[in-house]
Amino acid sequence: MKKLLMLGGTEFVGRAITEDALDRGWEVTAFHRGHHAPPPGVRALHGDRTAPGGLDSLADGHWDLVVDTWSGAPTAVRDTARLLAGRAGHYTYVSTCSVYAYPAPPGRTEDGVLVEGSPDAGATAYPEDKRGGELAAQDAFGDRALLVRAGLILGPYENVGRLPWWLGRTARGGPTLAPGPRDLPMQYIDVRDLAHWTLDAAQAGLGGPYDVSSPSGHATTGSFLEACAAVTGGAAELRWTDPERIVEAGVEPWIELPCWLPPGELHDHMFRADVGKALSAGLKCRPVEETVADTWSWLRSIGGVPPQRPDRPAKGLDPEREAALLGLGG
C-alpha cells in the first residue's frame, strides 16, 4: 500500500487528489490548517506553513509520495521539501502553465521560456510564486520532483468561481451573452483527470515538467456553453456575440466572462499549448459534457452556492451590463 502525504487535501485540486488516492486503497495523510475537513478515511495533521513552527507536525513520518498544491510564497515549498527530502520517495508540485513567459506562441511545449522565480522569495505574483515553488521542489528532490503544470482547471469542488458562475447563469435562463466565436478552441483539465494522472505519474516516478491539460480544441466555447445550458434545464438562450464588441464595451475576459479569452495573443498563450508529453505519459481527458454535468450535480448537492477562495476575485458579468450588450436595456 502506498503512503501519500497530501499537503492540503481539503479543497478542489487537493481534495480530488486525496479522493483518487483513497479510491486506490492508499494510506493518506493530509497536512492542512484545519479550516476544512478532509474526506473520511484520511489521517489529518495540522499546521500553518506561513507561521513559526508551522511544520512541527511533519517532524516525524515517512511517505512514498508527497503532493503539494501550494500557491503562495515559495519559501513554504522550500522549507517543506527540505524537511521531507530524506523521508519521502517522491515529491509532486502542482504548478501552472502561468510559469511560461508571456506571450508564449501556439504549440508551446515544456521547453518554453519561463518567468523568473526563486525558492527563497516571499509572495510576489502568482506566476513567479509558482516558478519559485517548482525550483524549491527540484532543489530538495532533484529528479524525484514532478512538476505538474496545469492549465485551466474545472470540475466538482471548484472554489474559483468559473464553471459554477456559468452554470448559475444558464440556470437563470433567458437571453444569455455567449462570447464568440462559437468554435473558438478551449484548453482545460477536469480536476479528476488531473488528479488521476498526477498520482499515476508520481507512482511511476516521473520527474521534471509536464503540461497537464486537454489538447487544444478538446472543447470549444460553443460545446462548453451549450453543455452548461443543456444540463441546467435548457432555459438559457445563448446569443453569440462578436468578441470585438465585448472587448470594446470594456468587459474583462476571464474575470467577467469566466473561461473565455478572445482570439489573439492571450488566447494562444493559454489555450494552444502542445500537451503531447502528458498524453504520451497516459493523460486521458473526459468529455466536457461530463465535466459540466458532474459539476452541476455537485453544485446542487451543496445548495447551489459554491465555495469561493478569498484570494481569488469574484467572477461573472453584472446582469445590467449583460442586458445592455444584448440590447435589452430600457
Q: Are 257 and 179 in contact (CB under 8 A)?
A: yes
How far is it, in rounded angstroms, from Cα 167 to Cα 235?
12
In whole angstroms, what separates CA 180 from the centre of its chain? 24
pLDDT of residue 283: 98
Low-confidence ranges of the chain (pLDDT < 70): 329-330
CB atoms within 10 A of CB 194: 27
Q: Which residues pair with 68 in a beta bridge?
A: 7, 93
How far is it, in rounded angstroms, from Cα 116 to Cα 99?
8
How far is it, in rounded angstroms, from Cα 132 to Cα 129?
5
Q: Which residue has the cell 508540485?
A: 93
Assign residue 312 a region: left if phi > 0, alpha if psi is -120 to 50, beta otherwise?
beta
pLDDT of residue 312: 83
pLDDT of residue 167: 98
Q: How many angstroms separate the Cα of 120 from the Cα of each of 32, 87, 131, 135, 168?
A: 22, 22, 11, 9, 41
Judged by DSSP in three states, 178 sits in strand
Q: Which residues pair with 145 in a beta bridge?
A: 91
What is the DSSP-derived secondary structure letter of residue 114?
Answer: B
How far is it, in rounded angstroms, from Cα 12 to Cα 7?
13
pLDDT of residue 329: 62
Question: First-to-last CA distance in the chain?
Answer: 65
pLDDT digits (tens, 9 = 90+) for 170-218: 999 999 999 999 999 999 999 999 999 999 999 999 999 999 999 999 9
- Domains with residue ranges and CATH for the chain: 3-150 (3.40.50.720), 159-186+216-268+287-325 (no CATH)
DSSP H helices in 104-251: 126-141, 163-172, 191-203, 221-231, 243-248
What DSSP assignment string belongs to 53-83?
Answer: TTTGGGSS--EEEEEE---S-HHHHHHHHHH
